[in-house]
Structure 1
Amino acid sequence: MRNGSNGDELGEAWQAIAGGLRRDMGAQIFGQWIRPIKLGDFDREEGALELLLPSDFSAKWVRDHYLDRLTLAWKSVVPGIRSLAIRARPNGAQIHRLRPADEFAPPSERELSEAQDSALDPRYTFDNFVAAQGNVLALTAAQRMAAPEAPLFNPLYLQAATGQGKTHLMHAIGHAWRAANPGARVVYMPAERFMMEFVTAMRAKETMAFKTRLRAADLLLIDDIQFIIGKMSTQEEFLHTIDAIVGSGKRLVVAADRAPQALDGVDQRILSRLSQGLVADIQPADLELRRSILEHRLDSMPSVQVGEDVVEFLARTISRNVRELEGGLNKLLAYAQLTGKPVSKQLAEEQLKDILSACRRRITIDEIQRTVCEYYRIDRSEMSSKRRARAIVRPRQVAMYIAKMMTPRSYPEIGRKFGGRDHSTVIHAVRLVEELRGKDSEMDNDVRALLRQLEA
């Protein structure tokens, strides 16, 4: 069976897949290689789906670099798909138009429904946002902006590094506002799309239609405004949009990866307008929040079995941002589901090695030994000594355990750093400390304290 009647189903599946890829890969890489993809034929009997790209070069690049990732994503969303064929699009080929790929099409080429304008991700709601000390100000401000009563501040400026939750809060505001005001017009637009549509509208001499559509919004959400830097004509239009929205009593929320004052190359009038409201920052997720996010996600999937050791491992090692953390969990669960393998720490290390390698801070065994010795107040030389006193052996075993957790070193390599000990000694130490952590709260507290010190 070919694409035809399945087009809408496949298009919806692609929207979900593309959204996850964009968050994991970043806007630049996604825009260059994934956004141009179109759906070709789908043979239901064979389970073979065709993905088409504009050129042989782009098709080969995506096939060489992203085939496994795309195949895994499609299989997890559409169980009937067993294989992908990635090739260049032949002239006259029948394709299924995909919203993520057409996201920046000129207004004259498509009708923009309210749903398309809002482009709100159904996963990003206030109910799914995990609160913590580092994000409570931004969360509270976002909830106030979405409340029926007039906000105390307008605009709301959300500031956070990549993947820390600012986009989640923007979508949550949109969902809550629309739920409270069913007839309201909500427009969510990344800054890069704002620029592309405005430039296209100017070339097509349709700027009035562009302005009218944006300024008709009851709630306007502009994400990643740092990308407007340096584009003077776009900045001028953005300034007028701010004045029109705020001046008419409508609501404006913007987000960026830095404070307004740090937006070099932005018109001072824009900075002044943005600073008039509330600037709410989101701090990087600490270990406790990362652990809570994973647990919250797993609570929504009661049929999935994931041990506490895996949650702890992911929370500790994927520390750069929440988006990578959730992406890593998604990849791990999808692989386990497709292969039938249980979710374990070993599976996580195998399947997430690229993410883990990028996230691990380069902590050395020497640094671990020094920190452990200071904590237990023993001499550094004891890490390599032959002494068997319990007050020496236990810290040495803890250091071996942490070395295995926080470095990519093998058991023999770790043994050599501890006075030339055999790899079996290191294995015994790692297993023993792991066991003790499960039944001895004092040992568990010691290890947690040491990990916090080393991570800091």
Structure 2
Amino acid sequence: MGQGVAIANNHSASETQDDMVAQAWATVRTNLRESSGVRLFDQWLKPIVLIPGSDLDAVRLGLPSAFMTNWVRNHYADRLLHEFRVLIPAVRSVSIETLARSAQVVTVETLPAPANIAPADPVPTIERPSLDPRFTFDRFVVDPSNLVAYNAAVALAQPGAPRFSPLFLHSGTGQGKTHLMHAIGAAYLMAVPGARALLMSAERFMYEFVQALRTRETHAFKTRLRAADLLLIDDLQFIAGKDATQEEFFHTMNEVMGAGKRLVISADRCPQGLDGVEQRITSRLSCGLVADIKAPDLALRRRVLDRKLVDMPNARVPAPVLDLLASRITANIRDLEGALNRVVAYAQLSNVEIDLDFAVATLGDVLRGAERRVTIDEIQKAVSAHFEIKPIDLVSARRAVVVARPRQIAMYLAKRLTTRSLPEIGRKFGGRDHSTVIHAVRRIEDLRDKDHEIDSSVRTLLRQLEG
């Protein structure tokens, strides 16, 4: 964003309008990538190109199909105009157009056009995925909460026969699954330059498959996916309930695995917890290596911020501000990095130094949202209602499973959603010892990976309490 200020205010006399617009577009793309999330950006925004000849009166952006053009117009027209005007106030309009076929160019920064759009040039023999250069193994902050997933990803990226396949990564939103998938792709292609690799979201898989059905090009679709030496599918939960897509995914998965190739899948929950996904798919996923990434603790969140600053050499963020962000923004790594980006960008745009007061003023809404704390009483009421037991049962001495398991879940939620200490939580559950709380937390963590009903109940309660 600091670069954008220079574009708007400090360009030299020799700088042409074309140069200004091109530099602004590079900054706008970076901002969109950081604010929109990888999945949405990769699918809809990354294919946008700046049409040559754009000027301050009319910035022209192009997309490879009318379908994508209409979607971006409906959802991002105002946002794109605002982003350009922040950088260059003289910009009067931003038009979003469908490129003529002869102008469609696929680069390392764009996704292929949908299956029903014929490319201008022959499809290359070697498929190269569009990988985010920020997401590499050396930029991933390793911690006990993600160590198994990290080591598994590194192992799968090594040349030679894969030690396991598929690798199934699961975690909550913004915890690092997509980062590891891009890192696998980058490391594997560096080790095996001639390999075929393909990375797409499950949503993109479904979209391209449906388009192939409509245009009777399913053979080309199947051939492209099954020819991959490394196939990475992100956010598998999005094919839940899509029977035809699941049928094709199952056969693709079998072909890739049967050929001894590499398959990496990610989702927001373990295979057994994927509601609406066929049992034969979850069974096949479970036969590989299943690795979860747990929510980051305070120490990891602080280290993530330190690592992020390495890539921001011009940013000066004092330690108290970093401590504030790490302690208050706890939901996921993506939100944490987004908050840091926002503070740095606002400071550069305002030409001020960052301190605690500035950070609080800039992130007021974010910090207020993070400040809201669920109480143990609220948790006990929600758990009692969910399992249809009396609230007093949770603090009683009863040990029957119908009471003991909900009590453990309530303790687990209290540890996760409140700032209370273990002894304080134990006292709120009938004066129990802190070791009982530790046992309950570990037990529920273990059961969430093995018991679909327990995991589903916990997710339902989390949504209810955090909502």
User: What TM-score does the superposition give when structure 2 sets the normalisation length?
Assistant: 0.65
2:331 pairs with 320, 339, 362, which one?
Answer: 320
- Residue 115 of structure 2 aligns to which amino acid in structure 1? P
* Percent of residue pairs identical: 43
* Matched-pair contact (CA < 8 Å) for 1:332–1:348: yes
- Residue 223 of structure 2 aligns to which amino acid in structure 1? T
SS at match of 1:151: coil
Unaligned runs of 5+ in 2: 1-15, 379-417, 419-467
* Matched-pair contact (CA < 8 Å) for 2:237–2:268: yes
2:310 pairs with 299, 303, 317, which one?
Answer: 299
Distance 1:60 1:202 in 2: 26
* Matched-pair contact (CA < 8 Å) for 2:60–2:95: no
Say whether 1:204 aligns with 2:215.
yes
Q: What residue in structure 1 maps to residue 250 of structure 2? A: 239
| Alpha-carbon spacing, 1:314–1:47, altered in 2? closer, same or farther (3 Å) | farther
Unaligned runs of 5+ in 1: 76-80, 368-405, 407-456
- Residue 109 of structure 1 aligns to which amino acid in structure 2? A
SS at match of 1:280: strand
Distance 2:146 2:310 in 1: 21
Say whether 1:18 aligns with 2:29.
no
SS at match of 1:238: helix
1:129 pairs with 122, 140, 143, which one?
Answer: 140
SS at match of 2:138: coil
* Matched-pair contact (CA < 8 Å) for 2:60–2:97: no
| Alpha-carbon spacing, 1:231–1:98, altered in 2? closer, same or farther (3 Å) | farther
Q: What residue in structure 1 maps to residue 367 of structure 2? A: 356
Distance 1:167 1:254 in 2: 10
Q: What residue in structure 1 maps to residue 351 of structure 2? A: 340
Distance 1:121 1:152 in 2: 26
Distance 1:103 1:148 in 2: 26
The CA RMSD over aligned residues, in Å, is 4.0
Say whether 1:266 aligns with 2:271.
no
SS at match of 1:109: coil
SS at match of 1:118: coil
Q: What residue in structure 2 maps to residue 401 of structure 1? A: none
* Matched-pair contact (CA < 8 Å) for 1:230–1:265: yes
Q: After TM superposition, give the deviation of residue 304 of structure 1 in Å.
A: 2.2
Distance 1:108 1:57 in 2: 16
Distance 2:317 2:143 in 1: 23
* Matched-pair contact (CA < 8 Å) for 1:38–1:96: no
Say whether 1:230 aligns with 2:244.
no
| Alpha-carbon spacing, 1:281–1:86, altered in 2? closer, same or farther (3 Å) | farther
* Matched-pair contact (CA < 8 Å) for 2:330–2:370: yes
| Alpha-carbon spacing, 1:276–1:71, altered in 2? closer, same or farther (3 Å) | farther
- Residue 18 of structure 1 aligns to which amino acid in structure 2? L
Q: After TM superposition, give the deviation of residue 331 of structure 1 in Å.
A: 1.9
Q: What residue in structure 2 maps to residue 144 of structure 1? A: 155
Say whether 1:165 aligns with 2:176.
yes
Query: Could you list the per-position Cα deviations for residues 145-164 of structure 1 after superposition, in whole angstroms to 9, with x for gaps in the alignment?
Result: 11124333210000011100
Stretch of structure 1 that moved more, 293-302 or 228-237? 293-302
Q: How many residue pairs are counted as aligned between the two chains?
A: 357
Query: Could you list the per-position Cα deviations for residues 21-72 of structure 1 after superposition, in whole angstroms to 9, with x for gaps in the alignment?
Result: 3218x73x9978x68977568766x597456899999869756667555655
Distance 1:220 1:268 in 2: 21
User: What TM-score does the superposition give when structure 1 sets the normalisation length?
Assistant: 0.67
Q: What residue in structure 1 maps to residue 166 of structure 2? A: 155
